[in-house]
Amino acid sequence: MCETLPLNKAELLEINGMGKTRVEKYGTDILKVIRGYCDENDIDTSADKIDFTEEKVAEKPKAPKVDTKKVSLDLFKSGKSIDEIEDERELTRTTILRHLSHFIDSGEVKISDLMPIEHYNELKKIIPKNKFESLTELKQLVDDKYTYEELRLVLRALNDA
């Protein structure tokens, strides 16, 4: 700031560390201090350049929101494996499985696409017979061959049924 002597909020935004929130919160006060410094030290600044008004900082146009679940579904339907989608989207396997599980009810994804059908059938019988308060507690009750993702998928299917 001392080197550039910003004259308005737009110039403040160009300074490293001065984001939109800081400029909105402190910009007017900072610009007043800079103006005072310039006056005290006879630094020539065109008064018409300095803007001390409470102007709104121009917002960057936001990209349209993308339905992240739909993106995962489209990649899956195009033939990509869960591992490939995970790598391409830089998301976790659990996240991809949660995205895809939303499309089981609509029939766009089958539960057998997301987990071994044998595990699904076994868990479908085991889960209702057990009492548990949390997923961790359920995981401790069942065989280690079942993953947390599989438990979530079956619980979702049982709750939707």
Interval 16-75: pLDDT, tens: 888 888 889 988 888 888 888 887 777 776 544 444 445 555 667 777 888 899 999 999
Domains of the chain: 1-60 (no CATH), 68-160 (1.10.10)
Structure tokens at 93: 């396997």
- Using an 8 Å Cβ cutoff, are 153 and 115 in contact? yes
Share of the chain above pLDDT 70, in %: 88
Give residue 42's identity as a one-letter amino acid code. Answer: D
pLDDT at residue 79 tops 70: yes
- Using an 8 Å Cβ cutoff, are 10 and 24 in contact? no
The whole-number average pLDDT for the span 154-158 is 87
Output the pLDDT for position 50: 44
DSSP 82-147: HHHHHHHHT--HHHHHHHHHTTTTTTSS-HHHHS-HHHHHHHHHHGGG---SSHHHHHHHS-TTS-
